């Protein structure tokens, strides 16, 4: 085939990258690329065909939520590539169920030849089979390896935190990474000046509401705006509203951060389990605090005095305790967080308090207890839906596999029929060329064959679309969601941890209408 094009998929996960140790070069992007191109250059059959790379740098293989992978799969489904090459199975998937479906059903149906170099796998050698027990066992080993790596990574992070190192994420507002010492931070003079000023204003008796008004009036960028200015192109704060402004909550978040005393603070949140992204908050007693790890912006004494002022309630009217819906409620008018006030026992848009004349002053929620009950009941309904989906899941997977298998077999039979018809058409042409068949007879037979070929090709195309639709409509319940439901199934009322585990945001629209945006949407969107 002269129209063969090769897709090369390369993936490097964050777990493969630097974590205080020397990077494993065998897993690097460069080495994967060199390995694959060297293999293809020396491959007698594939060396001359054009190649296209798809690279995901910093993405886990335990799910398919990877931009380059999704782009590649769309192009494979569109028939733009006929060969897929990876370093090994784990680069494509570390979930053995996903890997099995890809090798057994999807790629064969798309007519894509798959090669996993280090695993010695070439689907051309397994036509009509799945690759046998060897392929299955390798996929299971990769799945177990991912969980083991996740545990080791968590342990390594905790050890790093105990040494006072920042093992993940970006430095706090007011600091930047130390280019000479990985995992350590140094002062960012411009932002540190704003932090110092906020503490000085509170200590001199200025209310946080007035601090926000002053910063807005002076045009000082908020921490998120400042971060985007200093780090253009980053995904962090990418969805922050363009109308974002300083608020009481923004100021308070700065004033409550102990990191400004020069201490490193880790272990604020805990992962639910291996290979599960979701985390839950930990009590302050379980945090890992190491003093004197970087230059302080304030003293410990100043921090404690400010906390006393905040806790006294003398300088603010909003509530500061860890209530269930804290930081989850958003204004439907401007998209900002709404905050809870003592006087009204409702959520109001903070923008109304920090910007004079804002229409957000008129956006407010129902009473807090009513809103808590509404969200709690919605979560219980959500968990009930999960239970029913779990029962359907095994049946659905079996039915889907059977349906895909039948479609593949049917398409293969139709393709065989097309090849036979093409040979028949050639025979009629040969008869016409040798004057054993009239021109009218040849054209008549040719039309009958062409019509049947067109009909069969249309059926094959419809089958292809049907299979891709079945691949997309997966009703599998994720292990992450299942773990979360198990953790909170016995809760009798809404808690902070429960709300934040299930809910991405709650939007209060003009008129009081409540919209819940879930962290896990798939089980609601599938048909």
List, for residues 444-460, the tens digit of each pLDDT value.
Answer: 988 999 999 889 888 88
Helix then strand count (H, E) for the chain reads: 17, 16
The predicted model gives 113-139 an average pLDDT of 70
Q: Is the pLDDT of residue 52 over 90?
A: yes
Tell me how far apart the alpha carbons of residues 305 and 523 are, in angstroms, rounded to a whole number: 48
13-38: burial string, b at 16+ Cβ within 10 Å, e else:
bebbeebeeeeeeebbbeebeebbee
Higher pLDDT, 37 or 250: 37
Max Cα-Cα span within the chain: 108
Higher pLDDT, 7 or 182: 7
Cβ atoms of residues 339 and 252 within 8 Å: no
Cβ atoms of residues 266 and 288 within 8 Å: yes
Q: Give the torsion sign (CA, 417, 422, 425, 426).
A: negative
User: What is the third-level CATH fold of 6-151?
Assistant: Rossmann fold (3.40.50)
Higher pLDDT, 293 or 116: 116
Q: What are phi and psi of 23, to 5 degrees?
A: -65, 140
Report the pLDDT value the prediction gives residue 191, as an integer from 0 to 100: 92
> What interhelical angle do 368-433 and 479-488 show, nearest 10?
160
386-404: burial string, b at 16+ Cβ within 10 Å, e else:
beebbeebeebeeebeeeb
Report the pLDDT value the prediction gives residue 24, as an integer from 0 to 100: 44
| pLDDT tens, position by position, 98-108 | 676 777 777 88
Tell me how far apart the alpha carbons of residues 192 and 260 are, in angstroms, rounded to a whole number: 9
Higher pLDDT, 460 or 371: 371
Lowest mean pLDDT among 71-85, 250-264, 301-315, 459-473: 459-473
DSSP string covering 235-264: STTTT--TT----HHHHHHHHT-GGGGT-E
The predicted model gives 493-499 an average pLDDT of 89
Tell me how far apart the alpha carbons of residues 170 and 185 are, in angstroms, rounded to a whole number: 9
pLDDT band at 280, cuts 50/70/90? low
Lowest mean pLDDT among 9-13, 53-57, 389-393, 512-516: 389-393
Cβ atoms of residues 457 and 451 within 8 Å: no
DSSP string covering 125-169: GGTTS--HHHHHHHHHHHHHHHHHHHHHHHHHHHHHHHTT---SS
Query: In the chain, what is the straight-line distance between the N-terminal and C-terminal CA atoms, in Å?
Result: 39
In sequence order, which residues have a C-beta less than 8 Å from that of residue 356 and are 6 or more positions away? 213
pLDDT band at 291, cuts 50/70/90? confident
CATH number of 163-313: 3.90.1750.20
In sequence order, which residues have a C-beta less than 8 Å from that of residue 114 and are 6 or more positions away? 83, 84, 85, 102, 103, 107, 121, 122, 123
Q: Is the pLDDT of residue 223 over 60?
A: yes
Q: Is the pLDDT of residue 275 over 80?
A: no
Q: Report which listed range, 87-91, 180-184, 441-445, is most confident.
A: 441-445
Q: Where are the domains of the chain?
A: 6-151, 163-313, 371-518
Tell me how far apart the alpha carbons of residues 53 and 40 are, in angstroms, rounded to a whole number: 13
pLDDT band at 372, cuts 50/70/90? very high
Q: Radius of gyration over alpha carbons of the chain, in Å?
A: 30
Tell me how far apart the alpha carbons of residues 206 and 199 are, in angstroms, rounded to a whole number: 10
Say what percent of the chain tops pLDDT 70. 71
Report the pLDDT value the prediction gives residue 239, as an integer from 0 to 100: 56
Query: CA 409 from chain center: how many Å?
Result: 35
Tell me how far apart the alpha carbons of residues 437 and 268 are, in angstroms, rounded to a whole number: 85
Q: Is the pLDDT of residue 316 over 70?
A: no
The predicted model gives 151-167 an average pLDDT of 58
- List the structure tokens of 80: 């733009």
Tell me how far apart the alpha carbons of residues 206 and 354 are, in angstroms, rounded to a whole number: 14
Q: Is the pLDDT of residue 278 over 60?
A: no
Q: Within 10 Å of residue 52's Cβ, how many Cβ atoms? A: 13
Q: Is the pLDDT of residue 315 over 50?
A: no
Say what percent of the chain tops pLDDT 90. 17
């Amino acid at each position: 085939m002269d129209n063969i094009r090769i897709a090369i998929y390369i993936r490097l996960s964050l777990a493969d990258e630097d974590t205080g140790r020397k990077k494993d070069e065998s897993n690097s992007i460069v080495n994967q690329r060199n390995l694959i191109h060297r293999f293809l250059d020396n491959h007698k059959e594939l060396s001359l065909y054009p190649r296209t790379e798809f690279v995901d740098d910093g993405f886990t293989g335990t799910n398919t939520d990877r931009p380059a992978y999704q782009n590649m799969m769309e192009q494979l489904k569109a028939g733009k590539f006929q060969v897929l090459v990876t370093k090994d199975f784990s680069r494509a998937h570390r979930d053995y169920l996903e890997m099995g479906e890809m090798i057994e059903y999807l790629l064969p149906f798309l007519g894509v030849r798959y090669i996993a170099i280090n695993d010695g796998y070439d689907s051309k050698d397994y036509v009509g089979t799945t690759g046998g027990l060897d392929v299955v066992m390798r996929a299971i080993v990769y799945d177990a390896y991912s969980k083991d790596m996740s545990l080791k990574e968590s342990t390594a992070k905790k050890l790093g935190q105990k040494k006072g190192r920042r093992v993940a994420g970006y430095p706090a507002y007011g600091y930047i990474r130390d280019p000479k010492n990985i995992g350590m931070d140094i002062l960012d003079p411009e932002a540190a000046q704003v932090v110092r000023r906020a503490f000085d204003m509170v200590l001199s008796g200025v209310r946080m509401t007035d601090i926000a008004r002053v910063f807005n009036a002076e045009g000082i960028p908020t921490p998120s705006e400042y971060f985007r200015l200093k780090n253009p192109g980053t995904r962090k704060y990418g969805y922050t509203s363009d109308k974002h402004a300083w608020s009481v909550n923004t100021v308070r978040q700065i004033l409550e951060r102990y990191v400004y005393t020069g201490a490193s603070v880790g272990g604020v949140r805990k992962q639910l389990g291996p290979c599960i992204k979701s985390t839950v908050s930990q009590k302050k007693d379980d945090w890992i605090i190491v003093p004197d790890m970087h230059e302080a912006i304030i003293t410990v004494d100043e921090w404690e005095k400010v906390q006393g002022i905040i806790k006294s309630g003398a300088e603010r009217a909003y509530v500061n305790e860890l209530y269930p819906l804290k930081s989850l409620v958003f204004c439907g008018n401007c998209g900002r967080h709404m905050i809870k006030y003592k006087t009204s026992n409702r959520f109001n848009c903070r923008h109304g308090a920090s910007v004079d004349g804002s229409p957000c002053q008129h956006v407010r929620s129902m009473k807090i207890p009513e809103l808590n009950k509404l969200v709690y009941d919605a979560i219980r309904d959500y968990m009930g839906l999960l239970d029913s989906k779990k029962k359907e899941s095994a049946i659905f997977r079996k039915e889907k596999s059977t349906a895909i298998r039948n479609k593949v077999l049917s398409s293969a039979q139709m393709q065989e029929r097309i090849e036979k018809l093409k040979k028949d058409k050639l025979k009629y042409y040969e008869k016409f060329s040798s004057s054993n068949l009239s021109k009218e007879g040849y054209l008549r037979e040719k039309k009958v064959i062409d019509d049947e070929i067109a009909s069969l090709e249309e059926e094959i195309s419809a089958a292809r679309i049907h299979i891709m639709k079945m691949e997309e409509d997966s009703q599998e319940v994720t292990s992450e969601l299942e773990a979360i439901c198990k953790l909170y199934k016995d809760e009798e009322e809404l808690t902070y941890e429960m709300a934040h585990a299930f809910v991405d945001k709650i939007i209060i629209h003009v008129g009081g209408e409540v919209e819940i945006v879930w962290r896990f949407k798939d089980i609601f969107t599938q048909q």
